Amino acid sequence: MRLGRYELTLEPRPARPAIFTALTAVVAILLALALSSFLFLSSDTRLIDAYRAVFSYAFFNPHGVLATVHRSIYLLFCTYAFLVPFRAGLWNIGLPGQVYAGGLAAFAVPFVLRTHNPQTLALPPGLLIVLMIAAAAAAGAATGGFAGLLRAKLQVNEILVTMMLNSILFWLVAYMIKEGGPFMSATGEGESFGLPSSLHAPLLLGVPVTAVLALCVAVLLDLLFAKTALGYRIRAFGENPAAARYGGIIPVALSLLVFLLGGAFAALAGYHYFAAVPGVYKIPGNYGYYGDLGFYGIIAALIARGSSLGAVPIVVLFAGLSVGARFAQGELRLPFGVDYALLGLLMMTFVASHVLYHFRFGWRRIPSEALQPVPTELPRG
């Protein structure tokens, strides 16, 4: 962009050491917290009291820590759901729809087998839980795979397809759990039937086993992209599709594969929150909130720069601040939406740090010979 005799440019930065990545993340966090101070000052709340309420509940209170862990697991699966297609140069924006598909499929297993009543368990509970997890992953994979297939075969934009699927699945859940739907609870409160205690996911120290699965997947994904031929193909296709095709990589198969994996991971997030978190064990009437929460996984994947292990601390921070800010909102009578505003500020500063990590602004004087004279007369004719 030219400003008189000077030019403002955006230039790629040279390679940076790993410590620079950590420093930019820390600066982004501090800047977000500083900007969020205005939210607390507007409600006549002391900053120290507000921040103490947020962090102490999210990371030190026993109930708050469990809530942070449960939300972190959910966001981790959503992060993987976006990260895998993203490494192939594709955007999976259909996380909410795939979450809903996973939740519906998980609850369809006890419904179809007539085992949602604890007196009618026809199969061992452990087997039923495995079937629920498998059904959720399969439904999410099918939802994501549909977008991947349209992208690979017909070059239909995957962002448009996944966004439309989000809306379709949202209303499908509404049909299933509300106004006489098949999954509606006996009380008719606009939510699904509750799972019997025998179908609750096993707990380890109060945390469902999905936590172990989420952490194992983080390790396996980084190993996949760094050490395997399949990971190399995915990365090569994402960085240069034309060169990847020339090298023998099949775009149709690769696009379908990454969306199958992404959809399965998002569906596991749906299983986790609706069928594994203590105190829930149902598809609640505000299920849309959990779907929208999945979009934070996209931001976490972008900030982590494609690393599943690098996304873990970012996701924990996002989860803790959302849980802590919601608690502080009620405890200190803060304005409604403080949790959303805090996360929004954090995402904005993280995205800005991500841009500044890869690019820098250049300010230089334009040589006189490069300046074009400005015409002072209108052309004739």
Q: Which two tokens stand for residue 172?
A: 């499908």
- Beta carbons of 285 and 279 less than 8 angstroms apart: no
Strand partners, 359: 12
Helical (H) or strand (E) element with 215: helix 210-227
Output the pLDDT for position 69.
Answer: 95
- Nearest CA to 20 out of 353, 361, 363 is that of 353
Q: Is 268 inside any structural domain? A: yes
Q: How many CB atoms lie within 10 A of CB 258?
A: 26
Residue at 353 is within a domain: no
Query: pLDDT-derived band of residue 26, with 50, 70 and 90 as boundaries?
Result: confident
3, pLDDT greater than 70: no
Neighbours of 196 (CB within 10 A): 18
Assigned token pair, 212: 């172990």
Closest CA relative to residue 172, chosen from 280, 282, 283, 273: 283
138-182 pLDDT tens trace? 999 999 999 999 998 888 999 999 999 999 999 999 999 988 889
- Farthest-apart Cα atoms in the chain, separation: 93
Q: Write out pLDDT tens, residues 204-227.
A: 888 999 999 999 999 999 999 999
* Rounded Cα distance, 90 and 238, in Å: 7
Report the length, in residues, of the chain: 381
Chain mean pLDDT for the chain: 86
- pLDDT over 80 at 249, yes or no: yes
Query: What would the mean pLDDT of 259-264 be, rounded to a whole number?
Result: 97
β-sheet bridge partners, residue 184: 192
Is residue 317 in a domain? no
Whether the per-residue pLDDT at 1 is higher than 70: the answer is no
pLDDT in tens, 94-144: 999 999 999 999 999 999 888 766 556 667 889 999 999 999 999 999 999
Residue 153 falls inside a structural domain: yes
- Per-residue pLDDT of 310-327, as tens digits, reads 899 989 988 998 899 888
pTM greater than 0.75:
yes
Q: Round to whole Å and give the CA distance between 311 and 48.
A: 28
Domain assignment present for residue 362? The answer is no
Task: Please give the average per-residue pLDDT across 73-95, as a whole number.
Answer: 95
- The tokens describing 143, both together, are 């939802």
What is the percentage of the chain residues whose pLDDT exceeds 70?
90
Contact between residue 103 and residue 268 where contact means Cβ atoms under 8 Å apart: no
Residue-number span of the structural domain to which 95 is assigned: 76-307
Backbone angles phi, psi at 89, to 5 degrees: 80, 15
Count of Cβ atoms closer than 10 Å to residue 217 Cβ: 19
Does 340 have pLDDT greater than 70? Answer: yes
What is the C-alpha to C-alpha distance for residues 325 and 32, in angstroms, rounded to an integer?
Answer: 13
pLDDT of residue 100: 97
Give the DSSP letter string of 43-67: TT--HHHHHHHHHHHHHTSHHHHHH
Does residue 257 carry a pLDDT above 90? yes
Closest CA to 36 of 335, 306, 363: 335
The dihedral built from the CA positions of residue 277, 281, 284 and 290, taken in this order, carries a sign that is positive
d(CA 127, CA 116): 14
Query: Does residue 62 surpass a pLDDT of 80?
Result: yes
> 146 versus 361: which is more confidently predicted?
146
Whether 85 shows a pLDDT value over 60: the answer reads yes
In this structure, is residue 357 part of a structural domain?
A: no
Flag whether 279 is in a domain.
yes
Q: Which helix (H) or strand (E) holds 344?
A: helix 338-358
Overall number of domains in the chain: 1
In a domain, 13, yes or no: no
CA distances to 11, 130, 249, 284, 303 from 192, in Å: 53, 20, 44, 7, 35
Q: Are 74 and 272 in contact (CB under 8 A)?
A: yes
